[in-house]
Amino acid sequence: AQKVTQAQTEISVVEKEDVTLDCVYETRDTTYYLFWYKQPPSGELVFLIRRNSFDEQNEISGRYSWNFQKSTSSFNFTITASQVVDSAVYFCASTGGNQFYFGTGTSLTVIP
Amino acid sequence: DAGITQSPRHKVTETGTPVTLRCHQTENHRYMYWYRQDPGHGLRLIHYSYGVKDTDKGEVSDGYSVSRSKTEDFLLTLESATSSQTSVYFCAIMVSGGYEQYFGPGTRLTVT
């Protein structure tokens, strides 16, 4: 079965703390793609990153970093030195055949 | 900005009435998708299209139909709206070769 699990429903951190959002996926495909999206309080969905299944290199973009581990089927997202503007719901997603499967999201609140 | 618009942005309708939501894109993407977003469920795929007149079902397609007569427009129809279809509906395009999706601003539908 195709499934994406984000076990953390809500997280609160104080500004400047680091925070890691967990994502575990299940897939039957040998080649697949993984994604993270951000949904700020305004409601739009913003694409953050895509990772394909044959590239396990970690990626860093400014304060954001992603750790892909195929052995544990995980694709975790870390925000370093969090800011109030990082407050949002974050969704992890994977491809499965021609479809996309989203996790239920993690709501992150950064307290000033 | 992937040039995706959705109309209407908000709609209130009564149980049993048909409703059509429109997604319009300006960049000639082949793949288009309709999702619904509900608390505790994340985003769930309703239907998708891989070309003009080519559509397929997603995981929550019951009670919905779609049509795509032009590349730029993807219509979602609720044949007879029910209260369980109260939701926020997002349209998305997929970037060919990249697999990431970009989303429209969403339509908030309330069925009373």
Q: What is the pLDDT of residues A46-104, one digit of tens each?
A: 999 999 998 888 888 899 999 999 999 999 999 999 999 999 999 999 998 888 999 99
The C-alpha atoms of residue A77 and residue A29 are separated, in whole angstroms, by: 22
At A2, the pLDDT band (50, 70, 90 cuts) reads confident
* A29 φ/ψ angles, rounded to the nearest 5 degrees: -75, 150
Residues 36-95 of A with CB under 8 A from B: 37, 43-45, 47, 50, 52, 91, 93, 95
At residue A55, the pLDDT reads: 85
Task: Give the CA diameter of chain A.
Answer: 43
Contact B100 A35 (CB under 8 A): yes
- Identify from A8, A36, A45 which residue to disrupt to test chain B contact, counting B C-beta atoms within 10 A and taking the largest count: A45
- pLDDT at B30 > cutoff 90: yes
Q: Does the CB of A102 have a partner CB in chain B at under 8 Å? A: yes
Q: Is residue A80 within 8 Å of residue A30, measured between CB atoms?
A: no
Of the candidates A47, A91, A95, which has its C-beta nearest B42's C-beta? A91
**One-character DSSP codes across B45-99:** EEEEEEETTEEEE-TT-TTEEEEEEETTEEEEEESS--GGG-EEEEEEEE-TTT-
Which residues of chain A are within 8 Å of residue B99 when distances are taken between CB atoms?
Answer: 33, 50, 52, 95
Q: Does the CB of B50 have a partner CB in chain A at under 8 Å? A: yes
- Burial (Cβ within 10 Å: 0-12, 13-18, ≥19) of residue B10: exposed
At residue A102, the pLDDT reads: 95
In our burial notation (b when 16+ CB lie closer than 10 A, e otherwise), range B50-69 reads eeeeebeebebbeebbbbbe
What pLDDT, in 10s, does the model give residues A35-44?
Answer: 999 999 999 9
Contact B101 A102 (CB under 8 A): no
- The residue of chain A with its CA nearest to that of B47 is A99
What is the mean predicted confidence (pLDDT) over B15-41? 95
Mean pLDDT, chain B, as a whole number? 95
What pLDDT, in 10s, does the model give residues B77-88?
Answer: 999 999 999 999
